[in-house]
Amino acid sequence: MLNIQITKTTAPKEIPPVESFGHIFTDHMFLMDYTEGQGWHDARIEPFHNFDLSPACMVFHYGQEMFEGLKAYRGADGKCYLFRPDMNAKRANKTNRRLCIPEIPEEDFVQAIQTLVKLDQAWVPDQPGTSLYIRPFIIAADPNLGVRPSHTYIFCIIMSPSGSYYANGLDPVGIWIEDDYVRAVRGGMGFAKTGGNYACSLAAQVKAHDDGYSQVLWLDGVERKYIEEVGAMNIFFKIDGTVVTPMLNGSILPGITRDSVLTLCRSWGIPAEERRISVDELLEAQHTGKLEEVFGTGTAAVISRVGKLRYKDEVFTVGGDEAGEVSLKIYDTITGIQYGRLPDPFGWRVEI
């Protein structure tokens, strides 16, 4: 159990209507420091404020940092819920181990989130589809230009209201299959949630956006032949009645939504496979009419239906107006559990 010192703001902000995501923050932030020899210490909640850091701070130069992402949901009963926060705590430590960042006990990680959300719970919006996005992260804090793991770290949690992702319902998005840049290789840090994976993805994202595609689909870093994942989402295909997603191979981020989708499909008796999928298999399935659904999965949107894919000179559309039966059912079920509208047979919902 952490002993969390709370200093409340004396100037609470007026809570604005939720609109675009990521630039408005709640009244408070969680902080905890790490010092080698002493461990994690001084868990506290303070009014949201800027950091005071040396320009030599290690994170600015060598990118030793990790982050997580989850949401708090306002139920119809007025209560606030988290979705599988223990999974974020576990994944955070996997990232930490890869980046030589000291681990945080899972129960402390979840307690920190719970305490912060409870304090700022008025910020959890209640319009349909809205939520409060929670961003825990750790940065290397030594003011030192030497290349080595830092001896000091800052663990911080900030929160930002998030509007409904689906103003237009589950509108299908266009996906750019990237055949030049790669995101990660086996042995690298593709499975870790860390800024570097995003920094190296921007060039392809810009290219895809310029061409009118909203996301990049990455191929494996060696042969550029097997499908890995989308920008900040895992990818699923329904081919001839079977749901298929790339297996976790070390270069793919193990999404919590991905795990939930696999669990749900299997509980419904829908065959769900984790295996290698080549672009060629995908093109073949498309040409023979067996590619029934394509969708991305992630905390931000839960399910993003894909309606168009581009690979080299080929552009093809997926499904017609009727398509998307399974992805819609998954979307309704996961959001139903998150907002407390449906029973929670797997014990995924955590009340604040």
Of positions 102, 125, 172, 298, contacts ligand PLP by CB under 6 A: 298
Q: Which is nearer to ligand PLP, 201 or 286 (CB)?
A: 201
234 binds ligand PLP (CB under 6 A): yes
Residue 96 is a binding residue for ligand PLP (CB under 6 A): no
Residue among 208 and 232 whose Cβ is closer to ligand PLP: 232
Stretch that binds ligand PLP, among 150-158, 220-228, 232-240, 324-332 (CB under 6 A): 232-240
Within a 10 A sphere around the Cβ of 308, how many other Cβ atoms?
17
Task: For residues 210 and 319, give the distance between their C-alpha atoms in angstroms, rounded to a whole number.
Answer: 25
Nearest to 262 by CA among 275, 284, 244: 244
From the list 351, 248, 229, 343, the residue with the least C-alpha distance to 297 is: 229
SS3 137: strand
Name which of residues 257 to 276 contact ligand PLP (CB under 6 A): 257-258
End-to-end CA distance of the chain: 16
Q: At closest approach, how far in Å is the CB of 234 from ligand PLP?
A: 5
For ligand PLP, the binding residues in 187-206 under the rule CB under 6 A are: 193
The token pair at 193 is 């949630």
Question: Applying CB under 6 A, which part among 105-113, 135-143, 161-169, 293-301 lies near ligand PLP?
Answer: 293-301
Range in contact with ligand PLP (rule: CB under 6 A) among 5-13, 101-109, 128-136, 252-260: 252-260
Q: Which CB sits closer to ligand PLP, 69 or 163?
A: 69
| Sign of the dihedral through C-alpha 41, 43, 44, 49 | positive
Cα dihedral 270, 273, 274, 276 in deg (nearest 10): -140
Q: Examine residue 85 and tell whether it contacts ligand PLP (CB under 6 A).
A: no
Out of 45, 101, 253, 277, name the contact with ligand PLP by CB under 6 A. 253
Q: Is 256 in the site for ligand PLP (CB under 6 A)?
A: yes
Cβ atoms of 218 and 230 within 8 Å: the answer is: yes
Kindly tell me which of 142 and 229 has the beta carbon lying closer to ligand PLP. 229
Nearest distance, CB of residue 248 and ligand PLP, angstroms = 11
Nearest distance from C-beta of residue 110 to ligand PLP, angstroms: 15
Stretch that binds ligand PLP, among 13-21, 147-155, 255-263, 273-281 (CB under 6 A): 255-263
Q: Cα(235)–Cα(213) distance, rounded to whole angstroms?
A: 16
Q: Is 229 in the site for ligand PLP (CB under 6 A)?
A: yes
Q: Return the structure tokens found at 90.
A: 């576990």
| Beta strands 80-83 and 234-239, pairing class | unpaired
Q: Tell me which stretch binds ligand PLP (CB under 6 A): 94-102, 235-243, 274-282, 295-303.
A: 295-303
The amino acid sitting at 193 is: K
| Radius of gyration of the chain, Cα coordinates, nearest whole angstrom | 21
How far apart are the C-alpha atoms of 59 and 140, rounded to whole Å?
Answer: 5
> Nearest 5 degrees, angle CA 338-CA 110-CA 298?
40
Residue 71 binds to ligand PLP (criterion: CB under 6 A): no
Total chain residues near ligand PLP (CB under 6 A)? 14
Chain positions contacting ligand PLP, by CB under 6 A: 69, 193, 229, 232-234, 253, 255-258, 297-299
